[in-house]
Structure 1
Amino acid sequence: MEFSYLFSPIKVRHMELRNRIVMTAMHLGYTPQGEVTDRLVDFYELRAKGGVALIIVGGCPIDEYGGMAGMIDLSEDKFIPGLKRLTTSVQAHGAKIAAQLYQAGRYAFSAMIGGRKPFSASAVRSRLTGETPRALELHEIPAVQDKFAEAAVRAKKAGFDAVEILGSAGYLICQFLSPLTNKRDDEYGGPLENRMRFGIEVVEKVRAAVGPDYPILFRIAGNDFMEGGHTNREARIFAAELEKVGVDLFNVTGGWHETRVPQLTMFVPRRGFVYLAEGIKSAVGVPVLASNRINDPEIGEEIIRNGEADMVTMARALIADPELPNKAKNGKAHLIYHCVACNQGCFDNIFQLKPAGCLVNPRAGREGELPIRPAEKRKKVLVIGGGPAGMKAACTAAERGHTVILAERTNQLGGQIPLNRHIPGRQEMLLIAKDLENNLKALGVRIMLNQEAGADLVKEISPDAVIIATGAGPIVPDIPGIDRDNVVQAWDVLAGKKAVGKRVVIVGGNAVGLETALYLASIGTLSPEVLHFLITNNGESMDFIRERLNRGCKYVTVVEMTGKAGQDIGLSTR
């Protein structure tokens, strides 16, 4: 497939981009002291080599009051030399780079800002931090806005091609904009016109500081997804006003950190929030960037061709595969390793203050430590086990030039991955096995299915090296009754090998138990086709439809002995 729209150039003010793919800002945890590190440079340089048009880094704290541990710091001039090294390394490969200006407001943790009390538009408690910020005094507001402008000047001096102002996800600008967090009775509170004032003045000050030709991007929430908060209607009004004072591109996302609506998990459909970008696009005349759950070039091509947005973001997608743009452009889209939105390596690590990694890409964040170089001596390698670890090991060995044989005792590759097929919201995981298999075949790896790998096979193949990747299996507890016919393993149920009755008790309330419960509870619920039919034709009441969307034909009880379920599930999904 040709991606003529996705790989057409575009201009943002005077910044020319080689295509329509953008890597948006993500906190990575690679800068523990705020200074640029080799790890950060290696990470972004590889993505620039991979063909992305624009990389936005950050968030970058603009002052000492609104950041968190491990962020790329823009609050002082001392950080400029390191940032210059980062911008130079990215630009050397034809990509542009922008810095995201970050002020968390009530989302800042006092423990991470030297014990200082976070500030906000009003003293409204944050469910994210559990803390109540202090309300900014009227006379303090200009100084906070000035910090955005000062950080923008530093970014320009450091060689960044643009800056992005963070006005989404419930951070400081959102806190002034939303009636949920803005209870002020001065010129910054009350009607929408007043609540927009803080963000508009920030843009005005940044524009005055960086000059008329420097691109300013704005990360905007197309919908707060907070009861009583802003919808796309208010976002369109805000965007139109921001364009008037100098914004050159809108990067559209949705939701706050406190929202109950999933934003980033695999339960969110692909391109699920593109409609928010389309709404903003209808209100402005500058380019609009669609975000969230866009992990494939075909989706990006469709969005741009349809006129829903001008560009697309692929942040986690580029963590999973830095070469995604080049592969798509060069007719190798089938070899892309897709992000599956599991969040286990990226967001779940960050929430624990650990550096970001990736379940799909074990080299993510370790590019300098784990380079893939041609082998000095080519060998014959036998990999035993066709799960994701064995498949990835086989791919890596083959990429280095070795002759690789992969032996798998079952009739399919992927290990436990295929068990996700029937779990609601987990089908995206199947891409892991599919992508690895596509690459195995392209690399010429010999695949042996239904093959037990014993001593005879090793003697027959006579490899120079053997990699054992046989994976794990379920633990069967030694308890009375475990061998009865009505006791079955979750794996057998998920694989369709064992059936269960109407009333089911699942012992174990962590990931496997809960996913099995979701699968069983979904049996008999309304399919998307039936749902669409009933709504279109007013066939049933909405109360009935809601009930049957969430309740099937089985009664499922989960028993967890520790008293807390889901302890092995990451915070982003739990």
Structure 2
Amino acid sequence: MNTYRHIFSPVTINGMTLKNRIIMPPMGTNFAGINGEVSEEQLDYYELRAKGGTGLITIENVCIDFPFASNGTTQLRIDNDQYVPGLFRLTERLHKHGACVSVQLNHAGASAYPGRLNHQQPLSSSNVPSKKNGLVPRAMTKEDIYQIIDKFGEAALRARLAGFDCVEIHAGHSYLLCQFLSPVYNQRDDEFGGSLENRARIVQLVIDKVREQVGPRFPISLRFSLEDFVEGGNHKDDMITMLSYCQDKVDILNVSVALNDTLQFQIDQMDLEDGWKRKLSRVVRDKFHKPTVVSGNIRTPAIAESILSEGDADLIAIGRGLIAEPEWVNKVQHGQEAQMRKCISCNIGCADHRIARSRPIRCSINPDIIHGDAYKQRHVREPVRVVVIGAGTAGMEAACTAAEVGCETWLLEAKGQPGGLAAEISTLPEKRRIADFPAFMKNRINGLSNLRLITGKQASVRDIAALEPHLVINATGSSPLLPPINGLMDFIDKPNSKVFSIKGMLNNLPAFDHPENKQVVVIGGGAVGLDVTEFFALRGAHVSLVEMMPAPGRDLDLITKTSMMSMLQKYGVTQYMNTRLMSVNADSFTAEQQGEVLHLPFDYGFVCLGMRADQHTLSPLQSWGLEHNVNIVNIGDSVAARRIIDGVREGRNILSTLEDMGVLA
């Protein structure tokens, strides 16, 4: 704790005392009931973070005026007194653990969820959609504007009645107030448009109304996008000026960035530097001398402490990191950093689930974000021996889970080190954060005396049988998909060849240290192909991308896809879409695009057509299991090549297998 004295120094803001400087920012969950009520899942989810020591928890943005203010498939509401009891139950739960609780008040404006509008137009400053292909909104009348101002005030009063310690007004991220602040959306010529002062007017009036309703001794936070990161949008100097018109009655300034079309900076893409927004928050803090919040890939206590000690911000917002590790604060405080799950910034279970897929949020590296480690309280009722084949992320999760509930467990890995494809991919500099998860899992393995990791030996059925298991988990992962294309097997990953699979690249990464001005052709525009494209494009190569589909990145999560599309444009990657690989040559690919034959020469050629399940051990194992009445379960990429989130979930699902076997109490 002494190492991080700034993190654990209390602070009082307008009567609200926080026990530490770590706050959970508002993040949508899709846990609310269909009518906007608080659910039991929500209560458990937030309480777990309060138990974990978080100083201030800001509940996800709530709807202040249904349906026009609504955001997301399911969203909490605060536009009627009937929602106060449920919200009070929520604050009551969190207060028990010493956490302060805030709530973000929001009007979605043009970003309103279409399914709730019943074919009505959303509202905005002007008739400009808030995102590409978004609904065209109706420009608000002055009467509309003043009605919305009143709605913010009414919602703030309800928040105080519900026991919240603070309210946050959302004026960023392409929601309604941002749609007035940003010239990207605001094309008005009245007192709410045009000049910086006019564009800031609605925010000033909202703050005035909220302050009138909650009184002088109640904290108000304002969240805003200091930089839009789009052409024609606001820059920090614009926002600083607009803040000078409206921040006088605000207690906390929450610094964020970006609009809908630059979502990869709002919900930080994987390769952004840890704490990369700290310079922006410093500008705001130095100007207004008020408690300032910063977020942005802050995953380690060392970075958080540095930001605080150097005066870049007063409060550290850790969002996805608290989804991944609810005990973040407690583990830091008690010197257990090695046992922390560090968010890998993949944005799959959190952002992509909620925004792109209308699912409740999940986490790639934490298979139970609602109940946490509660499963460890269970135990097998009799001796159970479990063998796990393959120490990738799925296999490691299965082995650890089995050992943690009392099974005598063996984890067998043919390679010299555990970690699987996740560890290999993390050797790409832009994917380095992924390495934190295998590192955490290794620490977890090392802490379990009833789990034996055996590496460097290909496990045979005879080896497995000698351990006399009751349950065998096959988690042998995946290998590159190499279809029968003319010349492919003659050249790929061969000595002195210029043609590589992703495995061939990762096994020889130092050979590609200086690719400046090299001609690189990548076959396949899925996740793997785009990772390879990104690596070479960022390092000065001339890259061409070949994809059979009309566009690359079809199955990527929303944030990664947005960042990859931006990368392709920024670095001038030549794209051959609707194009099929015909043959592989020593230094060129032959492809076909709508009847035209293309010859694509290269210095380096990569065939990245995806991955396929590696099931080489499965069939003999299943036969042996059937003969000897031993359960055989196949999980992870050895079922089908997918993502970390799928394999880790299936690894934790070993609990269900043990239940089905009747051995788990």
Residue 494 of structure 1 aligns with which residue? 506
* Greater mean alpha carbon deviation, residues 443-452 or residues 131-140: 443-452
Residue 307 of structure 1 aligns with which residue? 311
Residue 259 of structure 1 aligns with which residue? 262
Q: Residue by residue, what CA displacement relative to the aligned partner does 1:464-501 show, whole Å, maximum 9, x if unpaired?
A: 43332222222221333232125542222222189799
1:76 to 74, 80, 98: 80
Q: Kindly indicate whether residue 152 of structure 2 is the aligned counterpart of residue 148 of structure 1.
A: yes
**Contact 2:226–2:256 at 8 Å: present in 1 too?**
yes
Which whole-Å CA distance do the structure 2 matches of 1:344 and 1:82 have between them?
29
Q: Kindly indicate whether residue 57 of structure 2 is the aligned counterpart of residue 55 of structure 1.
A: yes
Matches within 5 A, 1:368-387: 371-377=375-381, 379-387=384-392
**Contact 1:239–1:284 at 8 Å: present in 2 too?**
no
Compute the displacement of 1:244 (Å): 1.6
Change (3 A) 1:443 1:12: farther
Q: Residue by residue, what CA displacement relative to the aligned partner does 1:215-240 show, whole Å, maximum 9, x if unpaired?
A: 11111222222323222223333334
**Contact 2:124–2:139 at 8 Å: present in 1 too?**
yes
Which whole-Å CA distance do the structure 2 matches of 1:90 and 1:319 have between them?
16
Compute the displacement of 1:113 (Å): 2.2
Q: Residue by residue, what CA displacement relative to the aligned partner does 1:439-465 show, whole Å, maximum 9, x if unpaired?
A: 221334322111222233323333443
Amino acid aligned to 1:38: E
Compute the displacement of 1:365 (Å): 4.4
Amino acid aligned to 1:309: A
Q: Residue by residue, what CA displacement relative to the aligned partner does 1:347-366 show, whole Å, maximum 9, x if unpaired?
A: 11112111111111111246
Q: Which secondary structure state, in structure 2, belongs to the residue aligned with residue 250 of structure 1?
A: strand
Q: Kindly indicate whether residue 362 of structure 2 is the aligned counterpart of residue 357 of structure 1.
A: yes
Residue 425 of structure 2 aligns with which residue? 420
Residue 594 of structure 2 aligns with which residue? none
Residue 572 of structure 1 aligns with which residue? 559
Matches within 5 A, 1:175-194: 175-194=179-198
Compute the displacement of 1:177 (Å): 1.6
Matches within 5 A, 1:37-56: 37-56=39-58
2:248 to 238, 244, 248: 244
1:468 to 470, 474, 487: 474
Compute the displacement of 1:241 (Å): 3.9
Compute the displacement of 1:371 (Å): 3.7
RMSD, matched Cα: 2.2
2:455 to 424, 449, 453: 449
Which whole-Å CA distance do the structure 1 matches of 2:133 and 2:366 have between them?
31
Compute the displacement of 1:130 (Å): 2.2
Matches within 5 A, 1:536-547: none
Q: Which secondary structure state, in structure 2, belongs to the residue aligned with residue 202 of structure 1?
A: helix
1:563 to 550, 557, 572: 550
Compute the displacement of 1:141 (Å): 1.5
Q: Which secondary structure state, in structure 2, belongs to the residue aligned with residue 573 of structure 1?
A: helix
Q: Identity across aligned pairs (percent)? A: 36
Amino acid aligned to 1:513: G
1:438 to 439, 443, 446: 443
Compute the displacement of 1:333 (Å): 1.0
1:93 to 93, 97, 115: 97
Amino acid aligned to 1:388: T
Compute the displacement of 1:139 (Å): 2.3
Q: Which secondary structure state, in structure 1, belongs to the residue aligned with residue 364 of structure 2?
A: coil
1:484 to 462, 486, 490: 490
Residue 161 of structure 1 aligns with which residue? 165
Residue 276 of structure 1 aligns with which residue? 280
Compute the displacement of 1:316 (Å): 0.2
Which whole-Å CA distance do the structure 1 matches of 2:554 and 2:264 have between them?
21
Q: Which has the higher strand share?
A: 2
Which whole-Å CA distance do the structure 1 matches of 2:189 and 2:135 have between them?
23
**Contact 1:101–1:148 at 8 Å: present in 2 too?**
yes
Which whole-Å CA distance do the structure 2 matches of 1:517 and 1:99 have between them?
41
Which whole-Å CA distance do the structure 1 matches of 2:119 and 2:395 have between them?
47
Compute the displacement of 1:209 (Å): 0.6
Q: Residue by residue, what CA displacement relative to the aligned partner does 1:146-204 show, whole Å, maximum 9, x if unpaired?
A: 10111111111222221111011121111212233222222222221222111011011
Which whole-Å CA distance do the structure 2 matches of 1:238 and 1:379 have between them?
65
Q: Which secondary structure state, in structure 1, belongs to the residue aligned with residue 348 of structure 2?
A: coil
Residue 526 of structure 2 aligns with which residue? 510
**Contact 1:356–1:365 at 8 Å: present in 2 too?**
no
Residue 534 of structure 1 aligns with which residue? none
**Contact 1:235–1:280 at 8 Å: present in 2 too?**
no
Compute the displacement of 1:101 (Å): 0.3
* Greater mean alpha carbon deviation, residues 450-459 or residues 53-62: 450-459
Q: Residue by residue, what CA displacement relative to the aligned partner does 1:270-303 show, whole Å, maximum 9, x if unpaired?
A: 1111111111101223211111211111110110
Amino acid aligned to 2:341: Y
Q: Residue by residue, what CA displacement relative to the aligned partner does 1:365-420 show, whole Å, maximum 9, x if unpaired?
A: 4659x744231436443322110111122222333344433211101111101232
* Greater mean alpha carbon deviation, residues 103-112 or residues 397-406: 397-406
* Greater mean alpha carbon deviation, residues 122-131 or residues 303-312: 122-131
Residue 535 of structure 2 aligns with which residue? 519
Which whole-Å CA distance do the structure 2 matches of 1:25 and 1:456 have between them?
53
Q: Which blocks of at least 5 consecutive residues in structure 2 are unaligned? A: 493-498, 562-665
Q: Which secondary structure state, in structure 1, belongs to the residue aligned with residue 482 of structure 2?
A: coil
Which whole-Å CA distance do the structure 2 matches of 1:93 and 1:197 have between them?
39
Q: Residue by residue, what CA displacement relative to the aligned partner does 1:478-533 show, whole Å, maximum 9, x if unpaired?
A: 333232125542222222189799544433221112212333445xx3xxxxxxxx
Change (3 A) 1:105 1:559: same
Q: Kindly indicate whether residue 30 of structure 2 is the aligned counterpart of residue 29 of structure 1.
A: yes
Which whole-Å CA distance do the structure 1 matches of 2:283 and 2:448 have between them?
44
Change (3 A) 1:410 1:241: same
Which whole-Å CA distance do the structure 2 matches of 1:498 and 1:203 have between them?
55
Q: Kindly indicate whether residue 416 of structure 2 is the aligned counterpart of residue 411 of structure 1.
A: yes
**Contact 1:98–1:162 at 8 Å: present in 2 too?**
yes
**Contact 1:423–1:518 at 8 Å: present in 2 too?**
no
Compute the displacement of 1:80 (Å): 1.6
Residue 547 of structure 1 aligns with which residue? none
**Contact 2:325–2:366 at 8 Å: present in 1 too?**
yes
Change (3 A) 1:401 1:160: farther
Q: Which secondary structure state, in structure 2, belongs to the residue aligned with residue 425 of structure 1?
A: helix
* Greater mean alpha carbon deviation, residues 76-85 or residues 272-281: 76-85
**Contact 1:237–1:283 at 8 Å: present in 2 too?**
no
**Contact 1:98–1:161 at 8 Å: present in 2 too?**
yes
Amino acid aligned to 1:200: Q
Compute the displacement of 1:98 (Å): 1.1
**Contact 2:130–2:185 at 8 Å: present in 1 too?**
no
Compute the displacement of 1:124 (Å): 2.0
Q: Which secondary structure state, in structure 2, belongs to the residue aligned with residue 426 of structure 1?
A: helix
Q: Which secondary structure state, in structure 2, belongs to the residue aligned with residue 557 of structure 1?
A: strand
- Alignment length, in residue pairs? 543
Which whole-Å CA distance do the structure 1 matches of 2:526 and 2:431 have between them?
15
Amino acid aligned to 2:486: P
**Contact 2:380–2:405 at 8 Å: present in 1 too?**
no
Residue 615 of structure 2 aligns with which residue? none
**Contact 2:102–2:165 at 8 Å: present in 1 too?**
yes
Q: Which blocks of at least 5 consecutive residues in structure 1 are unaligned? A: 526-550
Residue 546 of structure 1 aligns with which residue? none
Change (3 A) 1:191 1:518: closer
Change (3 A) 1:129 1:54: farther
Which whole-Å CA distance do the structure 1 matches of 2:476 and 2:142 have between them?
63
Compute the displacement of 1:262 (Å): 3.3
Which whole-Å CA distance do the structure 2 matches of 1:56 and 1:155 have between them?
12
